[in-house]
Amino acid sequence: MYMYNYFIFFGLISSLFYGMSIVIKKKILTDTNISSYSFSFVETFVSAIFGGLIVIIFNVNIFSDVYLTSILILCGFLYGVSLIFYYYALEKDDATRVSQLCSLEVVIVPIAAIIILQESLRVESVVGICLIISAILLLSLDKNTIFNTVKFAFIPIFIALILWTIEDILMKYTLDFVGFLFVYFWVRFSSFISLSIIFGSKRNTRNEVKKVYYKLPKKNLYIFLTASIISSFGLLFAVITYSLGPLSIASPLVSSYPIFVALFIYINYLYTGENIDKNISFYKQFTSSILFISGIIIIQYFTI
CA of residue 263 relative to chain centroid, distance:
17
Do 278 and 235 meet the contact criterion of CB atoms below 8 Å apart? no
Cα–Cα separations (whole angstroms), residue 79 to 29, 85, 172, 185, 293: 21, 10, 14, 13, 26
CA atoms within 13 A of residue 41's CA, in its CB half-sphere: 22
pLDDT at residue 94, as a whole number: 75
Minimal CA–CA distance to 187: which of 19, 57, 54, 17? 54
pLDDT at residue 71, as a whole number: 92
pLDDT at residue 2, as a whole number: 43
Show pLDDT as tens, one digit a residue, over the chain (304 residues).
Answer: 445 567 778 888 998 998 898 888 888 877 776 777 777 777 888 888 988 898 888 888 877 788 888 999 999 999 888 888 888 888 777 777 787 778 777 677 777 777 776 766 677 777 877 887 777 777 666 656 666 666 677 788 888 888 988 888 888 889 888 888 888 999 889 988 888 887 766 656 666 666 666 666 777 778 878 888 898 899 899 999 888 888 777 877 787 787 788 788 888 888 887 777 766 666 777 777 778 777 777 766 665 5
**Residue 142: left (phi > 0), alpha (psi -120 to 50), or beta?**
beta
Q: Give SS3 for 100.
A: helix
Query: pTM for this one?
Result: 0.80
pLDDT at residue 303, as a whole number: 53
pLDDT at residue 213, as a whole number: 65
